[in-house]
A and B are shown apart, each in its own frame.
Chain A
Amino acid sequence: MLLAGSPFPPKKYTNEKKVLPLKILTAPRMDRCIGCHSCSLACARLVHKNFSWNTAGIRIASSGGLSTGFEARTCLACEPAPCVAACPTGAYTQRKGGGVVVRKKLCIRCGECARACPVDAIYLAPDGEPFVCIHCGRCVPFCPHDCLEHMSIGGEAAAAAGGADA
């Protein structure tokens, strides 16, 4: 294999309800990031069924110009999550192990979740639809420099892929 973190074919994910080890997406090695946006594009493509580098649970930005490297804007798996507390309709609920489960059908596009997030991890589309990481890890194999990690945090999750209906 040539590039780190390119285990092709990538893991197959299903929507079957089964017991999985509880994991969260982390970005522990962002100092290796080359700014290719493959993670964002993969999240939009595979999770949210969009062609975008915005409507994704992970977004890459330079941290003050390209010479200073890159940062990942993604959910840090707060527990309790301020976005859950801010959500007025119950569309956001606390995910076990950190992060959130989002039920888009209940969302009224008010944007309170994004305003409550202290690290700008929630992207609001122009129509107000929120996009946030569901900790499924599908972006991880697309990082050529192994910046990302789908990290086990102990415990078990009852739903596949974070359980969002994104």
Chain B
Amino acid sequence: MIRDHFRVLRVDLRSGKGEILELDGRNEYAGGSGLAALLFSKFGRMDQPWNDPGQPLIFAIGPLTGLFPLMSKTVCAFKSPYHDQYAESHGGGRSALALRFADLDALVITGRAPALSCLSIGSRHIDLKDVHFMRGLDIHATGKLLRRMFPGAGHRSILRIGPAGEALAAMAGVVVDTYRHFGRLGAGAVMGVKNLKGIVIQGDASFALPEGKDYPALFQDVYGLLTGTEMMHKYHNLGTAENVVVLNELKALPFQNLQRTSDPAALEISGEKFAEKTLLRNAACAGCPVGCVHIGFVREKFMEPNQYLYRQVSYDHEPIFAVGCMLAVTDPFAALDLMEEADKVGLDVMSAGVALAWATEASARGFVSTSETVVPLQFGDANAYQQAMWHLARGETEFYRLLASGTLRAAERFGGKDFACVLGQEMAGYATGEVFFVSQALGLRHSHLDAGGYSFDQKHTEKDVTAAIGFLVEDERSRCFLTAMVSCLFARAVYTESRLAECLKAVGCNALSERIGPVSQRIQQERWRLRISTGYDPDRVAIPQRYSEVVTWKGPVDRQYLTELKAEYGHRIRKLSAAATPPESELKRSPG
């Protein structure tokens, strides 16, 4: 299992057949983000659109996956329907350990299945089943059927899409094991265009332990740090939902389509309120003892007399921000209803919430009317938003079709670009200032997790462009190695580079353990090379006017500083891309 190369399963959906590939590059690309980039450079069609059937959908794990706690994530890479460029989305659940125990470093899916299908793989099987009868089914109904069709409870991971993915919405996500997601940048539509309703990964192999005594002893140390100290307290306690109060006090919480950055009503949907009123239990990704997945409940009276049903919905800061704060829905149960609705239809809840926030302001300001929105949208009206989620997922009207392909696309058609809260994609839940806005707007994943810009904003008052962009580039580099392992980024304080080197050594990856610096830099450069090769131009990214109107605890946003940051970050990104060494020149593909 611990090998000096990559073992990759490539499945062609046209034939339903797979092939095992053994690829060199462990000491150059490590795994996860690096391996995904390597695979995209081999299989991706840079000059073809995202919906070309030959484009690969890639899932990659790292050399430490399952061997250490919180090494529990999977990197999904694809050409995104959102911007038609290279993209990564990260998810957890059981997907990472299931791939590990299926004896794969990565799964590459190419082609388009002749009928709506589900792919099932394991260490000893590949099976493509026709599931045309699942067309249009929501995430939950799909999950139930797939569980019945494919045995292996507990040690399998079930990835599936809802109606939004089938409708090829660029905001469609992939749900992983009910409560986790490859949410952003449209992985759901990539499955949809491949006629792939579900993927079941069976982790059914076992392996010898790494040799020597170092591994079990180091595991114990790391496990102790993660569970016996305060380092993971936030995630174990309220979870990231703790951020709502903190950001609200800082005046850094996007509220009501970022019309303001603080609102007393936000306290009604704080992490504390969610825990007090709705928290049912916690859950974890496989291989993580922290259990940061917070699951709330909603109940619904569906019939008289007193006939109720209940649902369980996972929440975090980001969904609370997107369908709570941004839509001014300040009842925790109503916010959970909206999160559930987005999940059911297979929409990325962050994108959907932010898009509907723009649609609401566009309605109020007369850019669109109910002839476009179908239902009248008003901030705080959760019932209307529930209906709008379905319209958005199915794209039955031009307005919703455009909106589901990106808020800015709808704004280009109907007007209202100035107040579209888009930073590369629909924004994340931080309005901390200029550095974060530029970090998300230009970052590779357009994610708050690309680099800690939100943290830099909170720690620095001076406006030093060189220092800020230097921080973003260096922080991204170090995160590249974490996402090559593939660690949960919540564990970044535990998995320092020196500890990662120890972990790699303990499992026999000695050469890699000594090259963390150059390998992480190589991965960073290669990812940017792929992004730019597929059409990215950082100078063409617009930061809408709304971000210049934001007032945080530091005062109004400085447009000049924002412009300078953006120019410098774009310059550094192009330099990183230009410094990349394309892998084709040095890697060979050997028969399996």
Q: Closest CB of chain B to A91's CB: distance in Å? A: 20
On whether the beta carbons of B144 and A41 are closer than 8 Å, the reply is no
A65 and B101: CB pair below 8 A?
Answer: no
State whether the Cβ of B66 lies closer than 8 Å to any Cβ in chain A. Answer: yes
Instruction: Tell me the A67-97 residues at the B interface (CB within 8 Å).
Output: 67, 69-70, 73
**What residues on B are CB-neighbors of A36 within 8 Å?**
284-291
Please provide the chain A residues from 56 to 74 with a CB less than 8 Å away from any CB of chain B in the complex: 59-67, 69-70, 73
- Contacts A34-B291, A50-B207 given: A67-B227 contact, CB under 8 Å? no
**Residue of B97, B203, B289 with highest tally of chain A CB at under 10 A:** B289
Decide: A65 and B97 in contact? CB cutoff 8 A: no
14 inter-chain pairs at a CB distance below 8 angstroms, sorted by A residue, are A2-B232, A3-B236, A6-B227, A9-B224, A36-B288, A36-B291, A37-B97, A37-B286, A45-B209, A51-B210, A54-B204, A55-B206, A62-B153, A65-B143
Task: Determine whether A49 belongs to the interface, using a CB cutoff of 8 Å to chain B.
Answer: yes
Given A34-B291, A53-B101, A54-B204, check contact A66 B66 (CB 8 Å). no
Tell me the bound Cα distance from A66 to B285 in angstroms: 11
Binding site for B on A (CB under 8 A): 1-3, 6, 8-10, 34-38, 41, 44-46, 49-55, 59-67, 69-70, 73, 125-126, 142, 144-145
Flag if A8 contacts B224 (CB, 8 Å): yes
Q: In the complex, A6 Cα to B224 Cα: how many Å? A: 7
**Closest Cβ of chain A: how far from B266's Cβ, in Å?**
28
B1 within 8 A of A: yes
Cβ contacts under 8 Å, A35 to chain B: 283-284, 286
Q: Which of B229, B281, B287 is A2 in contact with, Cβ under 8 Å?
A: B229
B147 x A65 contact (CB < 8 A): yes
Interface string of B119-141 (1 = CB under 8 A from A): 00000100000000000000000
Q: Which residue of B lies closest to A69 (CB)?
A: B281
Kindly list chain B residues whose C-beta atoms are within 8 Å of the C-beta of A38. 69, 223, 287, 289
Contact at A65–B144, with CB atoms within 8 Å? yes
B490 CB–A CB distance under 8 Å: no
Q: Is the C-beta of B220 less than 8 angstroms from some C-beta in chain A?
A: yes
Q: How far is the CA of A49 from the CA of B224 in the complex (A)?
A: 20
- Kindly list chain B residues whose C-beta atoms are within 8 Å of the C-beta of A61: 153-155
User: B: which residues have CB within 8 A of A?
Assistant: 1, 66-67, 69, 97, 101, 124, 143-144, 147, 153-155, 177-179, 203-210, 216, 219-220, 223-224, 227-230, 232-233, 236, 281-291, 293, 312
Chain A residue contacts of B155, Cβ below 8 A: 53-54, 59, 61
* Residues of A contacting B69 in the complex (Cβ-Cβ under 8 angstroms): 38
Residue of B219, B286, B291 near A144 (CB, 8 A) is B291
- A125 CA / B479 CA spacing, docked (Å): 37
Nearest residue, chain A, Cβ from B286: A37
Known pairs A54-B101, A64-B147 / 19 extra A-B pairs, C-beta < 8 Å: A1-B228, A2-B236, A3-B228, A8-B228, A10-B220, A34-B284, A36-B287, A36-B289, A36-B290, A38-B223, A49-B209, A50-B207, A51-B1, A52-B207, A63-B153, A66-B177, A66-B179, A66-B283, A67-B312
* A44 CA / B287 CA spacing, docked (Å): 13
Answer whether A59 and B154 are a contact pair too, CB < 8 Å, given A38-B289, A53-B286: yes
CB proximity of A103 to chain B, nearest CB, Å: 21
Of B203, B236, B288, which is within 8 A of A53 by CB? B203
Contact in complex: A46, B216 (CB < 8 Å): yes
Interface centre among A35, A41, A145 (most CB of B within 10 A): A35
**In whole angstroms, what is the CA distance A36 to B124 when docked?**
24
Shortest beta-carbon distance, A25 to chain B, in Å? 18
Determine whether the beta carbon of B66 is less than 8 Å from that of A2: no
**Contact across chains for B207 and A53 when beta carbons are under 8 A apart:** no
Q: Give the A-B contact count at a CB cut-off of 8 A.
A: 119
Given the interface pairs A2-B230, A6-B228, the reply to whether A142 lies near B289 with Cβ below 8 Å is yes
Assess the B236–A51 pair: CB atoms within 8 A: no
Which of B67, B210, B229, B291 has the largest count of A CB atoms less than 10 A from its CB? Answer: B291
Name A52's contact: one of B206, B224, B288 (CB within 8 Å): B206
Smallest beta-carbon distance B344→chain A, Å: 13
Q: Is the CB of A3 within 8 A of B287?
A: no
Chain A hits for B66, CB < 8 A:
41, 51
What chain B residues lie within 8 Å of A73 (beta carbons)? 154
With A35-B284, A50-B206, A51-B206 given, is the CB distance from A145 to B291 under 8 Å? yes
Contacting residues, chain B, for A59 (C-beta < 8 A): 154-155
- Residues in B whose Cβ lies below 8 Å from that of A1: 228
Do residues A51 and B208 form an inter-chain contact, with CB atoms below 8 A?
yes
CB distance from A159 to the nearest CB of B (A): 22
A2 touches B228 (CB 8 A): yes
Residues on A with beta carbons closer than 8 Å to the beta carbon of B219 = 45
Chain B: which residue is nearest A61 at the CB level?
B154
Report A149 CB to chain B, min CB distance, Å: 17
Q: What's the nearest-Cβ distance from chain A to residue B108, in Å?
A: 24
Name the residue on A nearest B231 (C-beta): A2
Q: How far is the CB of A2 from chain B (nearest CB, A)?
A: 6
When C-beta atoms are compared, the residue in chain B nearest to A60 turns out to be B154
Query: How far does the alpha carbon of A37 sit from the alpha carbon of B232 in the complex, in Å?
Result: 18
Verify A8–B287 contact, CB threshold 8 A: no
Nearest neighbor of A8 in chain B, beta-carbon distance:
B224
Bound: A132/B282 CA distance, A:
28
CA distance A129 to B489 in the complex (A): 38
Instruction: Name, among B204, B206, B208, B290, the residue most crowded by chain A CB atoms within 10 Å (CB to CB).
Output: B206
Task: Kindly identify which residue among B143, B206, B236 contacts A54, using a CB–CB cutoff of 8 Å.
Answer: B206
- Residues of chain A lying within 8 A (CB to CB) of residue B227: 2-3, 6, 8, 144
Q: Measured between C-beta atoms, what is the minimum distance from A145 to chain B in Å?
A: 7
Chain A residues with Cβ below 8 Å from B124 are 126
A144 to B147, CA, bound (A): 27
Q: Is the CB of A52 within 8 A of B101?
A: yes
Q: How far is the CA of A63 from the CA of B153 in the complex (A)?
A: 8
Question: Would you call A62 and B67 a contact (CB within 8 A)?
Answer: no
The 5 lowest CB-CB distance pairs between A and B, nearest first, are: A61-B154, A52-B206, A34-B291, A8-B224, A36-B284
What distance in Å separates the Cβ of B231 from its nearest Cβ neighbour in chain A? Answer: 8
Contact A2:B233 (CB < 8 A) given known A62-B153, A67-B312: yes
In whole angstroms, what is the CA distance A153 to B14 when docked? 59
Query: How far does the alpha carbon of A69 sit from the alpha carbon of B220 in the complex, in Å?
Result: 27
On chain A, the residues within 8 Å of B178 by CB distance are 65-67
Please judge, given known A-B contacts A50-B208, A62-B153, A66-B179, whether A142 and B291 are in contact too, CB under 8 Å. no
Q: In the complex, A54 Cα to B204 Cα: how many Å?
A: 7
Assembly CA distance A98 to B209 (angstroms): 30
Please report the C-alpha to C-alpha distance between residue A34 and residue B287 in the assembled complex, in whole angstroms: 11
